[in-house]
Each structure stands twice: as structure tokens, then as C-alpha cells.
A and B are shown apart, each in its own frame.
Chain A
Amino acid sequence: MTEVTDTVPSNGNGQLIYTSPAEQAVNKLLQAFPDGVELDGREGYEGVIVAADHLIRVATLLRDELGFSYLSSITAVDLIDENKLEAVYHFYSVNNGGTAAVIKVQVDRDDPIVPSLTPIWPGADFQEREAYDMMGIVFEGHPDLRRILTWEGFHGYPLRKDWKEPFFEEEHKPFGSRWPGGEVHRAEEENLYGMNVQYPPGWMPKGDEYDVETEMYSDLVLPRDATPGLKTDKVTVNIGPQHPSTHGVFRMVVTLDGETIAGLKPVMGYLHRNHEKIGERNTFIMNMPYTDRLDYISSMSNNFGYALAVEKLFDMEVTERAEWIRILMAELTRICNHLWAIGFLLNDLGALQTPMLYYYLERELILDFFEATAGARMMCNYFRFGGVAYDLPDDLRGKEIYGWLDELVNDRLPAALEQGDRLITGNEVVRARSIGVGYLSPEDAIAYSASGPLLRASGVAYDVRRADPYSYYEQLDFDVAVRYNGDVYDRYLVRMDEMIQSLRILRQVIPHLRETAGAPIVSSKPQYALRAPRNGEAYGRVEAPKGELGFYVTTRRRDSNPQRYHVRAPSFINLTPLEVMSMRHKVADVIGILGSIDIVLGEVDR
């Protein structure tokens, strides 16, 4: 991987100016492709607009020569006023960190064809399928362009601005029917079918739609070639969606050669709620409780990412005490999530809930703290734009709050982690079942856009808190947890390491909280109806416990609702290497590998 050399250019007056790696990359792209690439000149937007036929060359140049090898996010925007669809790509540099090089491709809305990046970057697979499913952009060259979040026979493109959902009431909230003349009604009584479904005009379900499934997967069954000398068939079988070990309603269509995996296709969308469309109908403040429901295990991180994105758009400052509280909540959420994730990984490996319940006792304490501070254990709705909603409570279960936090962080949690370590890390069964299982090489991890513990267990030390710092993480002293073997055992160890680093961060944060007691926790009086001060886009990302969680929000001036709202969900994208990791392992190993990726369906499907 080539490094971007740190040239320090100067302007005409001899002053040294610094350009970030992303800006340097953009300048080099403009030089290399003067006809296909132009700066995105819209007010409040960044990056370059690339002509569709130049996309592959631009992307290859970014990766090979400019060092931006990590394709983090592909999303699509419906510019209905200009009759265009726009595909937005965010590239990051793993070696240099920093902000994103943003590429946009604008195509005609009636015939949207964009070359697919999947042959070069396998991690683009699911995200391009999602853009096709939701917006209708056809990615030429994609090996398997099918719908991913909706069912195969779905009609229409849900995120287009002219598509209306079955319970559609009005274009933007707040709805006029609620006040001042509120006549209560139940939305389900107004739908023809009494359910949240909508069929294409002139089509009724006949009941034989199951044939679609068999046809779609028929090429996965390869008869009579499996083992030479023996007449065997490969069998295609479903794992899920109702399955206790798939972490939610997640389905894998596996092709088995005996007990060994010969092919695996993840099928998701069983929990798809069109969160992004709801996000476009909501106002900015209304989206905050909806973000809790994305990664419902770690709601504070989702709030954090969304708050960052909107604060970037609105140019809002965050007060000092609020930043410390945010870091406190983010790190406690990380511990919460990893306790859960390790517990469920051990469940998947067969340790019938014992480690899970031991970890749950600690998680309950953290959730009690969240309940006393934010009002709810999991759906916290705690962050606001410019700060947080409430200050810390005065006491919890009779103990003064800073003393409670001190005891939690210095005594209780380290003892629990140490107990878990003794129970699990040296256990021969765990080691036998997870060492060497589900290997993901560092090059593959970057190519498949893996993030979070999945990426760091493969030896790539990329953590958003260090690469592109937000809040006060730059001032804090902690290490990035990395392991180099890339198997299930290392992902478990990375999560243990991260919890210990989180405790280290918490020990530094709590004295700051004591010092700033009584300081304001929000920078301006919270408004219930914010209007965007300018046009623009913002991409706010945080190191969520599951990976890099990003929120891409665009807005128009004076709008109270976002124009486009996209969630870069780490669990969704971390599922892309699942097939590569599972090949030639047994079915039982696949469950363990899925557990080590640590998905939550609220995020996968949104």
C-alpha cells in the first residue's frame, strides 16, 4: 500500500498550508482525469462528481496509488428535482486515517446505470444491492444484483421520493391531522388489506409464490460432483430465519457437502422497517429515538453518531461536560455490548448460557445506570444536538453517583472481566472450536469493508476513535486493540481487550465529570423544531461497538426534515465476508463465525 507523502505546500505568500490526505487525493484525481472528474460545487457538499464511465478508473487509482483502500460506504440519493439519482462513495485511507474522499456519480433517474465496484472491492456487494433495491440504480457488472432488504417480488423502489408506503399519511411530520383538530384513528383500519402490505396494481397473491425461491437457488444445488468416487449430492439448506443462534431473524442459504460448507448466501431483510424512509419523514429531533432502535444493544452509540452528523450540518458546538458524559456513555455502551457479544458467542459455541448470564449481571448494573440517567435501559434517547438530554442523577440505589461509577469501573467490572477470562480464555473447548476457525486475512478484511473488532482481529489497527477522532478521544490515553490471527478466538480476545481499554478510558473520564459538575450539558436551549441553516451533507461516524457506524444526512436550507438519511450499518457490511470466512468449515463452525462477527438485525436490516 503506498503512503501518501506528507508534502507541505505553501501558498503564494510563503505560508505553509496543510491539506489532508483526502484533499490531496481529490486534487490528484482532478489532475488525472480533467474531463471525467469535477469538484462538487454545491453549497455545503464535499468531494468530487465523477462521470459514470470513469468510475472504475477513478476508484482503482484511489486504491492503488493514493492509498484510499477502504471503501467504507456506498449509498444513493434521489435528486428528484434534477431528475437524477446519485451514488455516493466514501473512501478512507487505512494507513493515514483522516476524513473521507467522497466520490459521487450522478445518473439519469429514468435509466440509472452505474458500473459496479464489486469486482474490484468485494465489500461493495451488499451495499450496491441495497442501492439497487431501495433506489433502483442498476450496477453493471455486479455478479448477483438482486434485492436484498425487500423480498424478490417487491414492486417499486422504496427510498425514491415518489414512492409511498402502505400507511402513508403525509409527506413530512408533524402531520396536520394531529393538532388542532385531532380525530384519533387507527392507521391499520385505513389499509385495504388490514396489514402493512402493498401489492402492485392488478396483482393478487395466489399462494404458489414459493416456486420463486426454488428457482432462485436452483443453481446452488450441484448434483453428483461432491466427492470423487462417491455418488453424493450437495444439499442446499436454510439456516434460519427462525433460529436461536442467528442473532435475530437472519437467514443463511448454505450449500452443504456433507457437513462442510460449499457455499453460503446470507439473506436478510426480515427486520427491514425502512428506517431511512421514516428518517426522511421525521424531523431532526424525532429521529433520535429511532436511532436507538438500530443497534438496539448499544443505543447510546447510535445516538452519538446521529448527533455528530447533525451537529456537523448545523455547525453546533457541544459543551465540555456533555462531551465527557457522551464519552462515558459511549464507553459504558461498548462494555455493555461486548459483554453481550461474548456471552452470545459462547452461546453459539455451545456453553449453554453460563458465561452469558455471568456477564449479564454486570450488564444489568450498567443498564440500571442508563435507566436512572436517561429514563430507559436500552432505548435511551439521551443525546441531543449540542449536548445530552439530562445530567447524571444524584445517586443510584442509595449511593452517590460518582462513587457508584468509581466502584463500578474500579472494582466490579474488572473483577467480572477477570472472572470471565478465567472461565473462557483458557478453556480447551473454546480454543479448539475457535482457533483457526473463520480466518479473514487483513487484505480481505479491508477489501470486504469489514470494520470494528472484525477488522482489528485480522491485524488492521484501524479505529475511528484514533483515525478520525471525534469528541475528546484525542485527549484520552488508550490503545487500539489489535490481534493478528484473524480467527474467531482473536475476535473474542479483541473484544476482551477493548473492554479493558474502555475501563481505562472511563477511569480518565470520571475525574473530569467530578470537576465539571454543575456545568451546562447542552450548548443552547433545546428546540423541538429545528430548521436547517444551509444546504449540505454531513457524514458523522463513530466507533460503535460493532464497527464503524456512520450517518449520512443531507438537507436543504430551511427544511425541518432531512432530505436523505442513510445509516452505514457495520453489522450489515461485516456480513459480506461471511461466505469467505465459512468456506470449508462445518455447519457448527458457521454458527460460531456468525457469533464472532457480532451482528444485530436491527442494524443489518434497518
Chain B
Amino acid sequence: MYGIGVIKGLGVTLKNFFISYKDDLAWMGKGGRYYNEEALLQRQGLEGQGVATVFYPEEKLPMPERFRFIPFLVTDDPPPGQKWGHDWCTSCGICSKVCPPQCIWIERGKQPNGRPKPEPEKFFIDIDICMNCGLCAEFCPFDAIKMDHDYELASYDRTTAHIHDKERLSKPLSYWRSIAPRRAAAEEAARNFAEEAKARKKARDKDAESQEERIAEAIARQLIYKGALY
């Protein structure tokens, strides 16, 4: 019969119409389907059916750990009374060398006698230029620059507010641990293992390197590798 295709299609849309209310009814006794974090995860997961809208800003999708927006600098957890602690950045410049649109400007720290100091004097990122690729965080050897999850950065003036300086970029390690707990834990484990391996290597005789210690060092290297790649 001519027209059966259209009718079948209308059947599909009609079915979807009813499905869009099915979950509403199912969640009525459990606190509602909207503005409800548990329901949001189910709505956005593989079993989600019906209306898939995220009612931003009351509901926000949880970002996965690897989500990258613009970078931030990691500092030690600050001593009481201060805003941030010691910078982890050593101003090696690798992030600015690997940045594809070249949006990172670093002024290397200088000791009084003119030699370089492993701390940045100035650190600027122009977030208008930043393309959120994450290469800076990937290649930093000191875990000092990481990709932030904060995307709510709209402002009225692009010329002044969009060049982030070191103060704006610095955030404590506890913040990094809160947004990416597994990665932070893996990186910390790798750092500790590497340090212990180095300490053990220094503390013993150079010739008496046993098989276990070589394996432990290889594991440490792998962990750093894996931690950085997690």
C-alpha cells in the first residue's frame, strides 16, 4: 500500500513520544527525573531513553578526569594564611615549546647572579589562543601544568580578561586531586616510587645491584610512564 512507509515512520515517532514520558513516571517516586544527579547519570548513560536534556545550570554533567579546557599551574598546598604554595613549575619551557598555537609566554626565573632559577618569574597564557589540546600538560616533566575542568569563563571584555597571568593560573594540588583523583594518585605513586628507587640506588654500593632492584627500577619507570599516560 502506498503510504505504509510514512505510517511506519509515524509509528516510530509516536512510540518515542510515549517513551519520553515513561521515565518521568518511573522516577516520580524517586525524587523526580530532573534536577536529580542519579537520574542525570541514568539519563545520559546507555539506558537513557526519552528526553535527554541536561537542565544546565541546575544540572551539570560530571566531567571525566581527562577533560581538558584551559591549563592551570599546580602549586603545593598553601601554608595557612596564603593563597598558594610553592610552584611546581621550573620554567623549563617545554609547555611553551610544544604549544601548537604558541599561547604560553614564560619568563624564566633568574638568580641574583644571573643564572637561571627553576621557578617562573612570569607565566602568561592567552586563553583566546589556547586550543585546549592538552599537549602542555602531557609533556610537562614535573606534573606542574594540568588541564582544568572549569569552562565557565565567559566575560564581557576579551582584551583584558583573557590573558591569564601566574596568579590567575596557580591552583593548589588539592584542587588537582579533587578534579582528577585517579590521575593524581597515579602520578603521586609514580613520583614516590621513583624517589625511593633513586634513594635506594644512592644508598647502596654501585656494584651490588641485584636483580630485584633492577626490576624495582624498571617498575618505577613504567609507573611514571603509566602515571603520566593515565
Contact = CB atoms under 8 A, between A and B. Distances in A.
Interface stretch (B79-87, B95-103, B200-208): B95-103
Interface stretch (B7-15, B23-31, B191-199, B209-217): B7-15
Interface string A389-430: 111011011110000100110011000000100111111111
A182 B66 contact: no
A528 B41 CA distance: 37
Main SS class of interface, B: mixed
Contacts of B126: 184, 186
A576 B134 CA distance: 37
A186 B162 CA distance: 11
B35 interface: no
A219 interface: no
B8 A180 contact: no
A179 B67 contact: no
Contact of B104 (A178, A286, A407): A178
A412 B46 contact: yes
Contact of A289 (B6, B67, B108, B131): B131
Contacts of B60: none
Given A186-B163, A375-B68, A419-B12, 20 more contacts: A174-B97, A175-B102, A178-B102, A180-B108, A182-B96, A285-B98, A289-B135, A361-B48, A371-B67, A389-B229, A391-B230, A393-B64, A396-B64, A398-B45, A422-B9, A426-B5, A427-B8, A428-B3, A428-B5, A529-B98
A245 interface: no
Contact of A423 (B12, B100, B122): B12
Given A285-B98, A422-B12, A180 B131 contact: no
Contact of A399 (B46, B52, B100, B107): B46
5 contacts: A179-B96, A286-B98, A389-B229, A422-B11, A431-B5
Interface of A: 169, 173-175, 177-184, 186, 282-283, 285-290, 354, 358, 361, 364-365, 368, 371-376, 379, 381, 389-391, 393-394, 396-399, 404, 407-408, 411-412, 419, 422-431, 521-522, 525-526, 528-529
A21 B24 CA distance: 62
Contact of B97 (A394, A397, A522, A528): A528
A430 B163 CA distance: 51
Interface in B182-197: 182
A379 B131 contact: yes
- Chain B, interface size category, equals 35 or more
A423 B102 contact: no
A142 B72 CA distance: 53
B77 interface: no
B50 to A, nearest CB: 10
B147 interface: yes
B124 to A, nearest CB: 4
Nearest to B103: A178
B139 interface: yes
B218 interface: no
